[in-house]
């Protein structure tokens, strides 16, 4: 089978397509023919050698996708050959085939295309836990969604509105601003003025929560945009890591909360994994959640996909199509 392989850390050019032995389904595993694999910022961090994401070399990148079960390993009773499944948190997904633990596979229901399923496994469940668990948005809550035209941002904006929140979206271009409005954002602004907009629309009180996947470039202003006892939810660092925070600043800002969540802790059990995925799939099937696929690439286009994502030229979700 063909797969993208990284033999050394570096720029997009280190992503090379190679022939590799096909995987085998061991006990408790499925081998899946990959229809679509998600492209995410963590793939870029891992490729660059970021110490928080680095693993052994060589490796096949990608941790999210969807496809058809080709082989069922010993001890697996919940799946059969031909089932459509999706997953996240499984390494080696930039490939024509991947072996995944059966307890991490999510059945894709009728009415949800595999590419859409692949597009929401990481970013959709991230948006789900942010809006429903890390800080459960309440009706009337003023909410800041940074990078609202990105893969998480478009989904998160919709979920904020589903829960009755008032969404203040930040974007970098007019085209991205229009996408955020289409997703339901009540107010759209650029990154320089968002704190001012928040104060204007809340009569100076501030936002209940800021969902921030940007990091260094937005963190300070995000703290200043919060109301007393507001939540700063930092779930990514597209612009770079946030510098050390003096905790007394939280008291001065109004007894603020800061948290750095990650998806793995919100889908730790199979029940929680299935619950979040089933919410997403049911919303998609009923037309309540719109999923934007911003670009598709063949396996040998992985370097271009990484470059496009890192440059922030894209909106929505990027997918590799291995087959």
pLDDT for the residue 300: 96
User: Beta strand 64-72 with 29-39: parallel, antiparallel or unpaired?
Assistant: antiparallel
Q: What are the CA-CA distances from residue 248 to residues 195, 215, 225 (Å)? A: 21, 20, 17
* DSSP-derived secondary structure for 252-284: HTTS-EEE---GGGGS-SHHHHHHHHHHHHHHH
Task: Identify the CA nearest to 92 among candidates 68, 45, 60.
Answer: 60
Query: Containing H/E element for 70?
Result: strand 64-72
pLDDT for the residue 65: 98
Long-range contacts of 10-18 (CB under 8 A, 24+ apart): 10/47, 10/48, 10/49, 11/48, 12/47, 12/302, 12/303, 12/304, 12/306, 12/307, 12/310, 13/303, 14/47, 15/47, 15/61, 15/94, 15/302, 15/303, 15/306, 17/299, 17/300, 17/302
Coil, strand or helix at 293: strand
Tokens, residue 288: 């309540």
For residue 149, count CB atoms less than 10 angstroms from its CB and return exposed for 0-12, middle for 13-18, buried for 19 or more: buried
Tell me the C-alpha distance between 78 and 44, whole Å: 33
Residue identified by tokens 């955020």 is 180
Tell me the C-alpha distance between 83 and 32, whole Å: 9
Which regions of the chain are under pLDDT 70?
Answer: none
In this predicted model, what pLDDT tens digit does every residue of 154-176 receive, in sequence order? 999 999 999 999 999 999 999 99
Tell me the C-alpha distance between 28 and 220, whole Å: 46
Q: Is 208 within 8 Å of 167 (Cβ atoms)?
A: no
* DSSP-derived secondary structure for 77-122: -S--TT-EEEEES-S--SBSEEEEEGGG-EEPPTTS-HHHHHHHTT
Q: Is 13 within 8 Å of 102 (Cβ atoms)?
A: no
Tell me the C-alpha distance between 18 and 1, whole Å: 8
């Amino acid at each position: 089978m063909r797969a993208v392989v990284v033999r050394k850390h570096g720029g997009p050019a280190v992503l090379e397509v190679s022939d590799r032995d096909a995987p085998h389904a061991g006990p408790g595993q499925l081998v899946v023919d990959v229809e679509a694999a998600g492209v995410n910022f963590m793939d870029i961090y891992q490729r660059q050698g970021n110490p928080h994401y680095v693993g052994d070399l060589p490796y096949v990148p990608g941790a999210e996708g969807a496809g058809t079960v080709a082989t069922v390993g010993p001890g697996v009773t919940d799946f059969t050959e031909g089932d459509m499944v999706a997953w996240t948190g499984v390494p080696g997904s930039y490939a024509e085939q991947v072996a995944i633990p059966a307890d991490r596979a999510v059945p894709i229901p009728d009415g949800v295309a595999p590419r859409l399923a692949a597009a929401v496994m990481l970013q959709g469940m991230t948006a789900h836990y942010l809006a429903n668990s890390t800080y459960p948005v309440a009706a009337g809550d003023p909410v800041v969604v940074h990078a609202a035209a990105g893969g998480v941002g478009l989904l998160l904006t919709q979920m904020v509105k589903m829960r009755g929140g008032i969404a203040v979206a930040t974007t970098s271009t007019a085209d991205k601003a229009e996408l955020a409005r289409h997703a339901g954002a009540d107010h759209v602004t650029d990154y320089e003025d968002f704190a001012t907009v928040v104060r204007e629309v809340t009569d100076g009180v501030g936002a209940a929560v800021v969902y921030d996947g940007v990091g260094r470039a937005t963190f300070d202003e995000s703290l200043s945009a919060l109301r007393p006892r507001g939540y700063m939810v930092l779930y990514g660092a597209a612009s770079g890591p946030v510098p050390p925070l003096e905790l007394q600043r939280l008291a001065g800002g109004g007894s603020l909360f800061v948290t750095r969540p990650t998806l793995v802790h919100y889908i730790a059990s199979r029940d929680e994994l299935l619950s979040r995925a089933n919410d997403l799939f049911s919303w998609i099937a009923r037309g309540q959640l719109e999923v934007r696929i911003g670009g598709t690439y063949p396996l040998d286009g992985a370097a271009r996909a990484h470059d496009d994502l890192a440059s922030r030229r894209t909106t929505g979700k990027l997918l590799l199509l291995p087959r």
